[in-house]
Amino acid sequence: MSDTRTKILDVAEHLTQLKGFNGFSYLDLADAIGIKNSSIHYHFKAKADLALALVERVHEVQSTALDAFDNTLDTPQQRLQAVADSFQAYIQDEKFCLCGMMAAELQSVSPAVRSHLTLYFKDLQAWLTKQFVAMGETDAQNRALRFVSTAEGSLLLARLEGDPQIVGQALKSFIHG
């Protein structure tokens, strides 16, 4: 991946997490990076192409992180805490989960982006389900769905109320019963 393409993705990810995907333009990206608008079009012909690349990249990062949690953390509680910490980190940096932000803008994304967003959340829920099964939960799949819903919702409330601790408080019961 070229350096310019990576910079575009990095800045677009940052802006999406702060303002939403519809909250910035290619001109905003070009100004932030210090390149011409046409340079962005060289890498991403349409904004829908940029959206797809962002979701694919974030999904890959998530998959790598979840694999690392499986390989380095001993208990499902530790793995769930690591996921909760990653959600907490978003709000500590005054950001939002990129896929959650884009899902909120679902009516304006392409079908390909919608499919990848769905896959992102299904994969996260499947991994969480596995953790809850390991903890002996009888309705692990529903618990995983509630974890994701609570995580995304708590990000909204934490941002609205200016209290990053809301995320950790909301997710604590999933980890410690």
pLDDT of amino acid 10: 97
Percentage of the chain beyond pLDDT 70 is 99
145 contacts 125 by C-beta, under 8 angstroms: yes
Whether CATH 1.10.645.10 fits 46-176: no
How is the chain split into domains, by residue range?
Answer: 46-176
3-state secondary structure string, the chain?
CCHHHHHHHHHHHHHHHHHCHHHCCHHHHHHHHCCCHHHHHHHCCCHHHHHHHHHHHHHHHHHHHHHHHHHHCCCHHHHHHHHHHHHHHHHHCCCCCHHHHHHHCHHHCCHHHHHHHHHHHHHHHHHHHHHHHHCCCCCHHHHHHHHHHHHHHHHHHHHHHCCCHHHHHHHHHHHHC
pLDDT at 15 over 80: yes
Residue with tokens 């999904």: 59
User: What integer is the mean pLDDT of 117-146?
Assistant: 97
User: What integer is the mean pLDDT of 59-68?
Assistant: 97
Residue with tokens 């998959």: 63
- What does the radius of gyration of the chain's CA atoms come to, in whole angstroms? 17
pLDDT of amino acid 92: 87
